[in-house]
Amino acid sequence: MNYTATEMMTVAAARAIRNDDVCFVGIGMPSAACNLARLTHAPDVTLIYESGTIGTKPDVLPLSIGDGELCDTAVTTVAVPEMFRYWLQGGRISVGFLGAAQLDKFGNLNTTVVGGDYNNPKVRLPGGGGAPEIATSCGEIFIVMKQSSRGFVDNIDFMTSLGHGKTGTEREALGIKTRGPSRLTTDLCIMETDPDAKEFIVTSIHPGVTREQIAENTGWAIRFADQVVETPAPNDTELGALRALNERTARAHAGK
């Protein structure tokens, strides 16, 4: 069975979604993973986007949170203040699914600036949007992003969204009761949060990937669990649904 590293990552990330989850979805790779879950093993998952769409079932992946596809296929659309105050801060969302430009071993995310200081960065990114609130108010956080030493760093350049803090203790010290980052899926492996140290450790390695590759593409001294398994390869159902979704999306967005 032939598949790409990106397909492996998307499928592995999708598998973490449960059928009864209420999931706050980020644009990009998180959106692909969540909608793949909806199209395969979790048809009853409730997907929520920042624009206020609840229970949306897009036929193609949205370009942004304002994509009409989200509102057209939603059960309902509420005002953004209601989305954040009632649904998110009210504790009604079980999972937040996020990506980032940079992260550290404690699951802190940077989507603001890279290089230099805030006023004169090498790269200015789109910013946090709703991610800072999602990171603290959802029941737990799943992260998906491609793994490289540029993105997986020892110290992020800007803390946009709180994981477990700079030492792994700040989240609890601030009185935040939600679980925080619990799972990280990359194109090389799956990491889960150590319950004591609050740092990501490798628990599953994708087929054909070595521990050396993972270490080379991580900017901190990566740890491996005592028992590390091999991630099951994508099956025909998963690949078929993902490829069909991507093909529909490409046709719908051609020239945009």
**What is the per-residue burial (b if ≥16 Cβ within 10 Å, else e) of 202-221?**
bbbbbeebeeeebeebbbbe
Q: Which residues are catalytic?
A: 50
Burial class (CB within 10 angstroms; exposed 0-12, middle 13-18, buried 19+) of 41: middle
> Residue 236 carries which side chain, given as an amino acid letter?
D
Instruction: Give tens-digit pLDDT for 198-240.
Output: 999 999 999 999 999 999 999 999 999 999 999 999 999 999 9
Helix axes 5-14, 29-39, angle to 10 degrees: 60
- Structure token digits, residue 196: 């004591």
Residue 24, H or E segment: strand 22-25
Contacts 24+ apart (CB under 8 A), 215-219: 216/149, 217/147, 217/148, 217/149, 217/152, 217/188, 218/147, 218/149, 218/152, 219/149, 219/150, 219/152, 219/153, 219/154
Residues lower than pLDDT 70 in the chain: 1, 256
User: In this predicted structure, what is the pLDDT of residue 256?
Assistant: 62
Query: Residue 215 carries which side chain, given as an amino acid letter?
Result: A
CATH architecture for segment(s) 5-252: 3-Layer(aba) Sandwich (3.40)
Instruction: Domain ranges for the chain, please list them.
Output: 5-252
CB-CB contact of 80 with 66 (8 Å): no
Is 141 within 8 Å of 96 (Cβ atoms)?
Answer: yes
State the pLDDT at residue 254: 87
Residue 166, CA atoms < 13 Å, CB-side half-sphere: 6
156, 108 Cβ separation under 8 angstroms? yes
153: closest CA among 120, 189, 115? 115
